[in-house]
Amino acid sequence: MKLTLEIWRQEGPNAKGRYEHHTVAELDGSMSILEMLDRLNEQLVNSGKEPVTFESDCREGICGACGIQVAGIPHGLERNTPACHQRLRSFHDGQTIRIEPFRSASYPVVRDLMVNRHALDEMLEAGGHVAVNAGTAPDADALPIDHETVEDALDYAACIGCGACVAACPNGSAHLYLGAKLTHLAMLPMPSQERTQRARAMIDVAEENFGPCSNYGECAEVCPADIPLSAVAAVNKERLRATFKRRLDK
């Protein structure tokens, strides 16, 4: 298989970006998008040119580092699949593919296909953690949780933080990501003790860095963890709960 890549190149955050065209041959349909980029970089290095900068780590679909935009879709053509698991079988021999960084005002380009997703980290810094008293750990069965609640919480905790939901949203909203975090932590006994202050802090950061949610639904279609669209409802739910809780506390 031979593919022509229309790939975004940008030397730095303040540099003017451009598309470059490169042809990569001897590809196999079982190869991933990232393996194709590896092959491209081998060609560039062997010809004395600068390789394309992109992020990757585990390449097993669990770290969230591999976010790129392929053919206009965050991660690629296969739904709910990270870029590292997107296979070239989705394309035909001789096809031209546009590859670019995640497109969102919240994700400034660092270089080429790498973007700065620190805005997501700021939400976690604001409230995506649990405060526990120091000392001896409690017994494992000291806080009983029913199996169904645990399974539901784990479903929302599966979010890998890749940020594709933001890039897919026309508004640049992070509600799917934020809703997954808020729901997961609200369902468990110890994290739920900080539920009100967590909601206030994380929602404030989200509104500062991201756009509003209009329920377009593109976020759920690209999410590698298959977080359901219903997660976005948790943001307004937690916001209202925190508002009424504040009034009751006065």
Q: Return residue ranges of the chain for CATH 3.10.20.30.
A: 3-111
Pairing, β 69-70 against β 96-100: antiparallel
How far apart, in whole angstroms, are the C-alpha atoms of residue 239 and residue 243?
A: 6
Four-point Cα dihedral 100, 103, 107, 112, nearest 10:
20
Contacts of 21 (CB under 8 A, 6+ apart): 4, 5, 6, 7, 96
**CATH hierarchy code of domain 3-111:** 3.10.20.30
Whether residue 250 is predicted with pLDDT greater than 60 in this model: the reply is: no
Residue 33 tokens, joined: 């998008």
Lowest mean pLDDT segment, chosen from 25-29, 40-44, 127-131: 127-131
Of 250, 168, 234, nearest to 202 (Cα)?
A: 234
Mean pLDDT score, 142-149: 87
> Start-end ranges of CATH 1.10.1060.10 in the chain?
117-249
SS3 at position 131: coil
Q: Mind giving me the DSSP string for 165-204?
A: HHHHSTT-B-HHHHHHHHHHHHTSHHHHTTHHHHHHHHHH
Q: Per-residue pLDDT for 138 more than 80? A: no
Instruction: For the chain, give the number of residues.
Output: 250
Identify the band that residue 143 occupies on the pLDDT scale cut at 50, 70 and 90: confident
Residue 137's pLDDT band (cuts 50, 70, 90): confident
Does residue 57 contact residue 63 with C-beta atoms inside 8 Å? yes
CATH homologous superfamily for 117-249?
A: Alpha-helical ferredoxin (1.10.1060.10)
pLDDT above 90: residue 130: no
Local structure of 62: helix, strand or coil: coil
132 has a pLDDT exceeding 80: no
pLDDT at position 246: 65
Task: List beta partners, residue 32.
Answer: 87
Q: Are 99 and 10 in contact (CB under 8 A)?
A: no
Q: pLDDT tens for residues 88-114?
A: 999 999 999 999 999 999 999 999 999
Whether residue 3 has pLDDT greater than 80: yes
Region of 70 (left: φ > 0; alpha: ψ -120 to 50; beta: rest) is beta
State the sign of the Cα–Cα–Cα–Cα dihedral 181, 13, 216, 89: negative
| % of the chain residues with pLDDT over 90 | 88
Average pLDDT over residues 196-222: 95
Whole-number pLDDT of residue 86:
97
Question: Which pLDDT score, from 0 to 100, does residue 231 have?
Answer: 95
pTM across the whole model: 0.92
